[in-house]
């Protein structure tokens, strides 16, 4: 069956625990091709043993994409559809396009690490006021599980992917929402391999051709280094080798790196139980109405299904870690214990269509749904960014 709005509404309004989607992948290069997982502190991989749910055997696994990374990928997938005009979504936008900045960029609430509670928005202006002191910004001050209405209209993804307003006026007591959608990609039967590195210089510059020295003065028609026959001056880098200027061959090396796996599995779970904890009172009422709660929760469920479905279209996780699905993605509804879960197909087009319907019903129920809200970085934030860019530029020149 194809998933539709009525299916979501019944699931959210009933007792179903969650929607689950588990999809198997192989490397794009084919079974047995090496993949490179993300690395963590010290350049290490996240490996662990897990119990195979089918055989009960213990299998060596490696984390290919974490819960946090998957959330970011889902948000970026939503942002792409928003920019393509196929998705209507509330969005905070801060543009850093001031002339004094070396690099221009934009940050949206689908890209900021802490979503609407991020310090970038906190230190930006809306209609001449610091965002958190503006009418829309103060919504965060009163947001909680029992009063999620304002946040629903301003940043619904915060209710879906989780948020903690730890840098707001209430500090650690600020609004906190758990993740309602969780996803990760695991590689099974992981065997670590080796990786090599080398470089052959097409100019065939040799070590003995140096040493190189730092140029005494900057010039537009000369490199940042010079050759001197008298041995005077400061040697370039550590010892003046041509490699300090990225010239010459790189000695071939070999070290641990990359894994072969039997398969990769992406598991996404949308918790309907988490969504049911959220309440949406209207017009500052003390309590919410059931039909309004149902409309909001159904819209969030549709947003979660859309995010999970859209993110599955891109298996290119990073350099040398592109995966390709070996099966169609199927969503299972975990409803009655002991019964076989109902299965639903849901491609990107279907997911976007269902979400559009859900938002229409939410609006009809009286729920807020903002458009794009453009913020302006405060002068202090602009200056902080400007100084940081200059420091980064100077550091890059020193390292060159």
Are 60 and 105 found together in one domain? yes
DSSP-assigned letter for residue 341: P
Please check whether residues 219 and 292 belong to one and the same domain. Answer: no
Which range marks the domain in which residue 223 is found?
Answer: 201-248
Cβ pair 335, 210 in contact under 8 A: no
Q: Is residue 398 assigned to a domain? A: no
* Span between the terminal Cα atoms of the chain, in Å: 58
- Are residues 208 and 279 part of one domain? no
pLDDT computed for residue 278 by the predictor: 98
pLDDT, residue 254, reads 79
pLDDT by residue for the chain (400 residues), tens only, comes to: 999 999 999 999 999 999 999 999 999 999 999 999 999 888 899 999 999 877 889 999 999 999 999 999 999 999 999 999 999 999 999 999 999 999 999 999 999 999 999 999 999 999 999 999 999 999 999 899 999 999 999 999 999 999 999 877 777 777 899 999 999 999 999 999 887 777 788 888 888 888 888 887 777 788 888 887 666 788 888 888 888 888 988 777 777 778 999 999 999 999 999 999 999 999 989 999 999 999 999 999 999 999 999 999 888 999 999 999 999 999 999 999 999 999 999 999 999 999 999 999 999 999 999 999 999 999 999 999 999 999 998 876 665 5
For residue 37, being part of any structural domain is answered with yes
pLDDT, residue 397, reads 63
Q: Rounded distance, CA 75 to CA 69, Å?
A: 10
20 shares a domain with 116: yes
β-strand pairing of 18-27 with 263-271: antiparallel
d(CA 68, CA 77): 14
Query: What sign for the dihedral angle of Cα 181, 309, 319, 111?
Result: negative
Residues 128 and 263 in one domain: yes
Say how many domains are in the chain.
Answer: 2
271: in domain? yes
Q: What are phi and psi of 89, to 5 degrees?
A: -150, 135
Mean pLDDT of the chain: 92
Residues 328 and 181 in one domain: yes
**Collapsing DSSP states into helix, strand and coil, what is residue 384?**
helix
Contacts of 31 (CB under 8 A, 6+ apart): 262
Q: Which residues contact 71 (CB under 8 A, 6 or more apart)?
A: 161, 162, 179, 181, 183
Whether residues 175 and 240 share a domain: the answer is no
pLDDT tens for residues 254-293? 777 789 999 999 999 999 999 999 999 999 899 999 999 9
Asked if residue 92 belongs to a domain, the reply is yes
Residue 103 has a CB neighbour count (10 Å cut-off) of 11
Residue 394 is assigned to a structural domain of this protein: no
Calculate the CA 355 to chain-centre distance. Answer: 21
Residue 396 lies in a domain: no
The per-residue DSSP string of 271-335 comes to EHHHHHT----STT-SS--HHHHHHHHHHHHHHHHHHHHHHTT--EEETTEEEEESS--EEEEE-
**Within-domain flag for 397:** no
Whether 393 is covered by a domain: the verdict is no
Q: In this structure, are 241 and 154 located in the same domain?
A: no
Nearest 5°: phi and psi at 330? -130, 130
| 8 A C-beta contact, residue 258 and residue 192 | yes
Do 219 and 152 lie in a common domain?
Answer: no
Residues 371 and 227 occupy one common structural domain: no
**CB of 194 within 8 A of CB of 254?**
yes
- The two structure tokens encoding residue 119: 């310090």
Tally of CB atoms within 10 A around 200: 9
Kindly report, residue by residue over 304-342, the tens digit of the pLDDT.
999 999 999 888 999 999 999 999 999 999 999 999 999
Are residues 148 and 224 both part of a single domain? Answer: no
pLDDT at 337: 93
In the block, which residue shows the tokens 């729920």? Answer: 367
The pLDDT of residue 229 is 62
Three-class DSSP category at 211: coil
Q: Which two tokens stand for residue 243?
A: 């490699």
Same domain, 175 and 85: yes
Segment 79-114, tens digit of pLDDT: 999 999 999 999 999 999 999 999 999 999 999 999
Which tokens is 367 given? 């729920």
Residue 311, pLDDT score: 94
């Amino acid at each position: 069956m194809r998933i539709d709005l009525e299916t979501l509404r019944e699931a959210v309004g009933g007792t179903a625990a969650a929607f689950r989607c588990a999809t198997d992948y192989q490397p794009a290069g084919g079974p047995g091709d090496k993949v490179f997982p993300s690395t963590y502190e010290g350049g290490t991989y996240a490996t662990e043993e897990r119990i195979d749910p089918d055989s009960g055997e213990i299998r060596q696994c490696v984390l290919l994409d974490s819960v946090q990374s998957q959330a970011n990928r889902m948000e970026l997938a939503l942002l792409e559809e928003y920019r393509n005009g196929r998705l209507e979504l509330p969005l905070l936008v801060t543009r850093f396009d001031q002339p004094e900045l070396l690099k221009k960029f934009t940050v949206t609430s689908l890209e900021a690490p802490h979503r609407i509670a991020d310090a970038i928005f906190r230190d930006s202006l809306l209609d001449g006021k610091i965002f958190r002191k503006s009418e829309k910004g103060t919504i965060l001050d009163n947001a909680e599980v029992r009063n999620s209405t304002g946040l629903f209209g301003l940043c619904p993804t915060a209710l879906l992917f989780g948020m903690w307003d730890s840098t707001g006026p209430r500090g650690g007591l600020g609004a906190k929402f758990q993740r309602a959608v969780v996803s990760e990609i695991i590689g099974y039967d992981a065997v670590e391999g080796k990786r090599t590195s080398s470089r052959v210089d097409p100019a065939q510059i040799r070590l003995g051709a140096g040493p190189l020295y730092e140029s005494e003065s900057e010039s537009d028609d000369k490199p940042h280094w010079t050759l001197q026959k008298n041995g005077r001056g400061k040697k370039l880098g550590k010892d003046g080798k041509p490699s300090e200027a990225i010239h010459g061959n790189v000695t071939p090396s070999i070290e641990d790196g990359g894994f072969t796996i039997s398969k990769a599995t992406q598991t996404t779970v949308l918790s309907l139980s988490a969504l049911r904890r959220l309440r949406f009172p209207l017009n500052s009422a003390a309590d919410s109405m059931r039909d309004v709660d149902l409309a909001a929760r159904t819209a969030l469920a549709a947003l979660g299904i859309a995010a999970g479905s859209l993110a599955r279209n891109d298996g290119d996780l990073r350099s040398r870690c592109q995966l390709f699905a070996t099966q169609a993605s199927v969503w299972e509804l975990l409803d009655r214990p002991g019964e076989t879960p109902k299965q639903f197909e849901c491609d990107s087009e279907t997911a976007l269509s269902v979400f559009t319907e859900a938002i229409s019903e939410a609006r009809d129920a009286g729920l807020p749904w903002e458009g794009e809200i453009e913020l302006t970085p405060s002068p202090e934030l602009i200056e902080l960014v400007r100084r940081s860019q200059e420091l980064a530029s100077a550091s890059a020149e020193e390292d060159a």
